[in-house]
């Protein structure tokens, strides 16, 4: 309001206070002219807090299948809301329907016209494309835009704050389809969709969901909007040439039916195809039921999704009323449209309870714009739009579709779908999907109330009747029918061409690997056109790692040959089932072990001989110590005792010792020692027998460990992965590695040895070396195989052909064909030495250290016990001597103790007894003399007393 009008208003108010009451009414007319003092009529229109009427609008496509039934559902909902006294407190909800006529431009114009009529919310539009356009208008004028059919996931972004989706996003629908694809173990799908925001963004979501599950969209087939059947046919012809037979159709109802008609004419609804339609197909079936026989005929075997709605008394009541309203079937779109009106009504009720007003303000951005012809200046901002939007998102209610509540991302809670199979004249429910439980045969609301159990995969969905009236799950792919042959890279080897090789001056390849591949391909249930292409210059063996990399780069469609399956290669390509086992081994020159003068010493290592000899002497000494004092056979002159010890200890080797042991400790030691001797004797006998009777091969290289410990050069096959493995995994210096190409190079390098510029050993895969050794008996595999791998055929990542070839290889193995191919190419006359064994290592001390430890501890404990008993006896002996002699005897000297130990125990005991007896007799005599003296003194005392 201008300053002048403000001044006049305040002057009038002051004047009226001073005038008589009868003059006030005379000035009312004048005051009315200045009504702007109290309300701003030009820029602001206000209504009471609870208006009589609230205007909302809906933008639909009347001529569409959904549009036809949505109008009926919206009108029914408006009528029910206005007739319910518990909602809006008497305020009437008025809806204006507008037809977009499939046009984005008309939708925008309709939206602008709606906004001119003080509309507080807009229901619709139907399509995601139109929603993107109208959302910009809604954002600018702050009018909530509620859609029950626009399912594009990107509409939930922060770019469209006033857009509210009252159905479930395609994000969840695509997650359900991805779970179905994973459940049936398909890896690739072809996506057929309308090339607009709805189609593109939905398929992007599908690709994301598939990627999470290790699958992918192998081919996208976009169809332009308003495409003719000829346009659709051109697209589907290309789809038919692709290898994937799992087709996901994401489109609209009208376009979807056209796609099915064209597919029928192209023969794409036969056995082998998998058709998965998004919820547009279930909508068509529900609304148009019963469908014409021709229409339902092209849907046979299809899988489709349908939004899950919980069966309730409210839903059944509405379904009964629906049959009285129209001949159209009741679809979930109708239920969501009905719930959208009630959702908005409850939000408006909360809006008014919070003191919200229906007021509008001019948009200053549009004031003075150049769009006067469009009357943009008449558009107003809904002042309560933000508050109403918040109230909409806070609504919690039970509707026809179930619980209506929004998450923090503005999505409805608990998205769930039914998985339907089109059969006969209708559909059959084969399961459910929800973001809570995934695929299941249990109703989602039941699972939601109770945590899902860990059911097996076979229970996730019921059986399906697929296109072609078959219950067998389709493979999901076929070899592409585009007339192109597979380009298969084959290594052009210069050595070991028994495995794979190219016939000179031709394009023909032969060998074990080639025969296995051709046999596997011939056993497939479909034709696979292919052509072998040479990889390598024919002058040296090519690198199989580079060949596999060429597949990853798209140069080849597959690789066939002697390709070892290694960790690095599996990152570049997928491999088939191994058709031959292989692993790295060491080959070294060997010589035959011949008998010699000192052959009897070979069973034991030098350390074993030394330790055994020491134990023979030690045990003899221990037994002599334990028996010396009580056994006459272990007594005598020192020379005799030494001979006795040596004789006793070594004679136990043959159990021919003549000396008997008398002490308990000695017998225990001898028993344990005889057990040790028995083990040593048996081991020696067995080893010596083997050495003298079995032909042996010996080599200074015992395996990969001894090869790593040495400094000698090592040979390997040129351009193989062995070099990187030896350097990277085993830490062998690259200066020690010498590349070799031909088997003749192997032979020469091994014969020359390290001293003449050759190698000490060759490290290569067992398959090659077994062929190499079949005619070269002077070499042999030494040690154990230190890696485990196999050879397989390489394919691009996620290629379904890899799995089928693997199955074919297993069949070849089971029926014996794989072995026959092996015998054809790799069977050679073996050397006579191949049946012999390698020289067994000498028996080391470590094999017997447990026995020696037990025997040694027994000897130590026996000596400790013996020493304790001897010291105790020695102490008692000295005490006895002291007591018997009646004088102090100095004891404890080492010389005295050794003298005591050297004496025979019987002699010591006899001497002690004798000394004890003599001492006792002398004490008795002294006692008698003392008694006599006492008696004499008593007699003399008595005589003196009597006198």
- Whether the CB-CB separation of 539 and 582 falls below 8 Å is answered with no
The mean pLDDT value for 120-146 works out to 90
* Residue 505 scores a pLDDT above 80: yes
Instruction: Say which residues have a Cβ less than 8 Å from residue 283's Cβ, sequence separation at least 6.
Output: 65, 66, 253, 306, 331, 332, 333
pLDDT confidence of residue 683: 83
Interval 748-770: pLDDT, tens? 999 999 989 999 999 999 999 99
Q: How confident is the model at residue 38 (pLDDT cuts 50, 70, 90)?
A: very low
The mean pLDDT value for 389-394 works out to 96
- Whether the CB-CB separation of 130 and 100 falls below 8 Å is answered with yes
Angle, helix 253-265 to helix 229-240, in steps of 10 degrees? 60
Q: What are phi and psi of 441, to 5 degrees?
A: -95, 0
**Residue from 216, 259, 212, 215 nearest 240 by CA:** 259
Instruction: Say which residues have a Cβ less than 8 Å from residue 447's Cβ, sequence separation at least 6.
Output: 432, 434, 436, 437, 440
* Residue 664 scores a pLDDT above 90: no
Report the length, in residues, of the chain.
947
Which of residues 73 and 457 earns the better pLDDT score? 73
Buried b (16+ CB within 10 A) or exposed e, 848-871: beebbeebbebbeebbeebeeebe
Which of residues 900 and 823 earns the better pLDDT score? 823
Which of residues 746 and 50 earns the better pLDDT score? 746
pLDDT confidence of residue 99: 85
User: Which H/E stretch holds residue 510?
Assistant: strand 509-510
Instruction: Say which residues have a Cβ less than 8 Å from residue 237's Cβ, sequence separation at least 6.
Output: 266
Buried b (16+ CB within 10 A) or exposed e, 437-452: bbbbebbbbebbeeee
pLDDT confidence of residue 238: 93
- Whether the CB-CB separation of 188 and 168 falls below 8 Å is answered with no
Which of residues 857 and 666 earns the better pLDDT score? 857
* Residue 137 scores a pLDDT above 70: yes
Q: How confident is the model at residue 484 (pLDDT cuts 50, 70, 90)?
A: confident
pLDDT confidence of residue 730: 92
The mean pLDDT value for 226-250 works out to 94
Q: How confident is the model at residue 48 (pLDDT cuts 50, 70, 90)?
A: very low
Task: Give CA–CA dist 310/329, Å, rounded.
Answer: 18
* Residue 898 scores a pLDDT above 70: no
Task: Give CA–CA dist 19/370, Å, rounded.
Answer: 51
Which of residues 933 and 864 earns the better pLDDT score? 864
**Residue 755 CA neighbour count, 13 Å, CB half:** 1
* Residue 888 scores a pLDDT above 60: no
pLDDT confidence of residue 608: 83
Interval 302-319: pLDDT, tens? 999 999 998 899 999 999
Lowest-confidence segment of 87-91, 375-379, 803-807, 816-820 by average pLDDT:
375-379
Q: What are phi and psi of 241, to 5 degrees?
A: -85, -10
Q: What are phi and psi of 941, to 5 degrees?
A: -65, -40
* Residue 268 scores a pLDDT above 80: yes
Q: How far is CA 421 from the centre of its chain?
A: 32
pLDDT confidence of residue 893: 55
pLDDT confidence of residue 728: 92
Overall pTM surpassing 0.85 (yes/no) = no
Percent of the chain scoring above 90 in pLDDT: 50
Percent of the chain scoring above 70 in pLDDT: 79
**Residue from 243, 210, 275 nearest 804 by CA:** 243
- Whether the CB-CB separation of 336 and 363 falls below 8 Å is answered with no
pLDDT confidence of residue 696: 59
pLDDT confidence of residue 101: 78
pLDDT confidence of residue 908: 60
The mean pLDDT value for 255-265 works out to 94
pLDDT confidence of residue 925: 60
- Whether the CB-CB separation of 797 and 570 falls below 8 Å is answered with no
For tokens 């032909």, the residue is 695
**Which among 565-579, 636-650, 651-665 has the top mean pLDDT?**
565-579
**Residue from 537, 245, 580, 292 nearest 425 by CA:** 292
Residue-wise DSSP of 423-486:
ETTEEEEEEEEETTTEEESS-HHHHHHSPPP---GGGSS----BTTTB-SPP-SB----SSPPE
**Which among 179-183, 536-540, 862-866 has the top mean pLDDT?**
179-183
The mean pLDDT value for 368-378 works out to 55
Q: What tokens were used for 787?
A: 């890696």
Which of residues 79 and 861 earns the better pLDDT score? 79
Q: How confident is the model at residue 929 (pLDDT cuts 50, 70, 90)?
A: low
pLDDT confidence of residue 518: 96
* Residue 721 scores a pLDDT above 60: yes
* Residue 924 scores a pLDDT above 50: yes
The mean pLDDT value for 361-379 works out to 63
Which of residues 783 and 885 earns the better pLDDT score? 783
* Residue 564 scores a pLDDT above 80: yes
pLDDT confidence of residue 548: 96
Interval 138-157: pLDDT, tens? 998 999 999 999 999 999 87
Interval 840-852: pLDDT, tens? 556 777 777 788 8
pLDDT confidence of residue 449: 52
Interval 161-218: pLDDT, tens? 999 999 999 999 999 999 999 999 898 999 999 999 999 999 999 999 999 998 999 9
* Residue 511 scores a pLDDT above 90: yes
Sheet holding 380-382, edge to edge: 44-45, 360-362, 380-382
Q: How confident is the model at residue 933 (pLDDT cuts 50, 70, 90)?
A: low
pLDDT confidence of residue 9: 41
pLDDT confidence of residue 695: 54
pLDDT confidence of residue 219: 94
* Residue 542 scores a pLDDT above 90: yes
Task: Give CA–CA dist 440/935, Å, rounded.
Answer: 123
* Residue 434 scores a pLDDT above 80: yes
Q: What are phi and psi of 539, to 5 degrees?
A: -100, -25
For tokens 């016939």, the residue is 503
Angle, helix 606-627 to helix 664-693, in steps of 10 degrees? 160
User: Which H/E stretch holds residue 725?
Assistant: helix 722-728
Q: What tokens were used for 377?
A: 């200046």
Interval 595-643: pLDDT, tens? 566 766 777 788 888 888 888 888 878 887 777 777 667 777 777 778 7
């Amino acid at each position: 309001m201008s300053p002048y009008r403000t001044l006049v208003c305040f002057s009038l108010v002051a004047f009226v206070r001073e005038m008589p009451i009868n003059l006030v009414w005379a000035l009312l007319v004048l005051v009315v002219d200045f009504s702007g003092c109290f309300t701003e009529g030009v820029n602001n229109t206000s209504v009471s807090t609870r208006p009589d009427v609230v205007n909302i609008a809906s933008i639909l496509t009347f001529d569409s299948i959904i549009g036809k039934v949505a109008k009926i559902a919206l009108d029914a909902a408006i009528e029910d809301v206005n007739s319910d006294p518990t909602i809006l407190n008497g305020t009437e909800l008025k809806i204006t329907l507008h037809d977009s006529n499939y046009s984005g431009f008309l939708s925008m114009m309709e939206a602008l016209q709606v906004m001119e009529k003080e509309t507080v919310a807009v229901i619709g539009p139907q399509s995601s494309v139109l929603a993107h356009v109208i959302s910009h208008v809604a954002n600018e004028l702050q009018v909530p835009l509620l859609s029950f059919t626009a399912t594009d996931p990107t509409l939930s972004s922060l770019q469209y704050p006033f857009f509210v989706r009252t159905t479930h996003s395609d994000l969840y629908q695509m997650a359900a389809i991805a779970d179905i694809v994973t459940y049936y173990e398909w890896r690739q799908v072809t996506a057929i969709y309308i090339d607009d925001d709805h189609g593109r963004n939905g398929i992007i979501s599908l690709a994301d969901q598939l990627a999470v599950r290790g699958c992918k969209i192998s081919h996208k087939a976009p169809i332009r909007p308003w495409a003719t059947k000829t346009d659709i046919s051109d697209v589907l012809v290309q789809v038919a040439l692709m290898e994937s037979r799992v087709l996901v159709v994401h489109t609209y109802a009208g376009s979807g039916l056209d796609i099915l008609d064209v597919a029928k004419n192209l023969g794409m609804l036969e056995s082998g195809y998998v058709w998965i339609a998004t919820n547009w197909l279930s909508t068509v079936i529900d609304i148009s039921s019963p469908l014409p026989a021709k229409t339902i005929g092209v849907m046979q075997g299809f899988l489709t999704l349908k939004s899950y709605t919980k069966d309730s008394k409210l839903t059944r009541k509405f379904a009964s009323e629906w049959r009285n309203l129209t001949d159209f079937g009741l679809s979930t779109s109708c239920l969501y449209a009905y719930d959208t009106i009630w959702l908005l009504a409850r939000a408006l009720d909360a809006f008014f309870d919070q003191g919200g007003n229906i007021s509008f303000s001019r948009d200053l951005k549009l004031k003075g714009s150049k769009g006067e012809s469009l009357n943009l200046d008449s558009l107003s901002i809904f002042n309560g739009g933000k508050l109403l939007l918040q109230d909409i998102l806070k609504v919690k209610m039970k509707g026809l579709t179930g619980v209506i509540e929004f998450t923090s991302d503005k999505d409805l809670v608990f998205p769930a779908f039914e998985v339907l199979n089109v059969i006969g004249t209708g559909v059959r429910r084969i399961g459910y999907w929800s973001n809570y439980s995934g695929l299941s045969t249990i109703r989602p609301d039941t699972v939601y109330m109770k945590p899902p159990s860990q059911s097996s995969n076979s229970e996730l969905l019921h059986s399906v009747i697929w296109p072609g009236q078959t219950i067998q799950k389709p493979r999901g792919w076929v070899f592409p029918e585009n007339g192109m042959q597979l380009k298969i890279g084959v290594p052009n080897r210069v050595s070991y061409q028994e495995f794979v090789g190219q016939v000179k001056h031709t394009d023909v390849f032969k060998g074990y690997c080639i025969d296995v591949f051709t046999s596997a391909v011939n056993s497939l249930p479909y034709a696979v056109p292919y052509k072998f292409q040479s990889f390598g210059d024919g002058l040296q063996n090519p690198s199989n790692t580079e060949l596999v990399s060429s597949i990853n780069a798209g140069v080849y469609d597959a690789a066939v040959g002697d390709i070892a399956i290694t960790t690095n290669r599996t990152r570049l390509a997928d491999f088939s089932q191994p058709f031959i086992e292989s692993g790295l081994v060491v080959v070294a020159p060997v010589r035959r072990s011949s008998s010699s003068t000192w052959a009897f010493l070979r069973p034991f290592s030098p350390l074993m001989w030394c330790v055994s000899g020491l134990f023979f002497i030690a045990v003899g000494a221990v037994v002599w110590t334990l028996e010396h004092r009580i056994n006459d056979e272990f007594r005598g002159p020192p020379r005799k005792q030494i001979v006795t010890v040596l004789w006793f200890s070594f004679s136990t080797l043959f159990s021919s010792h003549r000396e008997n042991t008398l002490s308990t400790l000695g017998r225990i030691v001898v028993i344990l020692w005889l057990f040790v001797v028995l083990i040593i004797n048996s081991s020696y006998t067995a080893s010596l027998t083997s050495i003298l009777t079995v032909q042996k091969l010996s080599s200074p290289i015992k395996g990969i460990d001894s090869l790593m410990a040495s400094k000698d050069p090592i040979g390997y096959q040129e351009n193989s992965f062995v070099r990187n493995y030896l350097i990277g995994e085993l830490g062998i210096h690259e200066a020690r590695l010498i590349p070799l190409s031909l088997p003749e190079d192997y032979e020469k390098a091994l014969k020359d040895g390290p001293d003449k510029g050759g190698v000490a050993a060759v490290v290569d895969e067992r398959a090659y070396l077994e062929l190499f050794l079949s005619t070269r008996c002077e070499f042999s595999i030494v040690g154990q195989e230190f890696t485990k791998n196999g050879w397989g055929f390489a394919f691009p990542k996620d290629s379904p052909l890899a799995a089928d070839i693997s199955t074919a290889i297993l069949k070849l193995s089971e029926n014996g064909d794989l072995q026959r191919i092996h015998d054809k190419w790799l069977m050679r006359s073996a050397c006579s030495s191949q049946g012999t064994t390698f020289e067994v290592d000498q028996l080391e001390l470590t094999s017997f250290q447990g026995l020696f430890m037990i025997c040694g501890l027994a000897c130590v404990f026996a000596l400790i016990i013996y020493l304790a008993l001897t010291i105790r006896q020695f102490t008692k002996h000295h005490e006895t001597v002291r007591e018997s002699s009646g004088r102090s005897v100095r004891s404890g000297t080492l010389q005295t103790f050794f003298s005591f130990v050297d004496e025979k125990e019987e002699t010591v005991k006899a001497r002690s007894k004798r000394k004890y007896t003599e001492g006792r007799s002398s004490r008795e005599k002294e006692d008698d003399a003392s008694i006599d003296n006492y008696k004499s003194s008593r007699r003399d005392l008595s005589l003196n007393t009597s006198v």
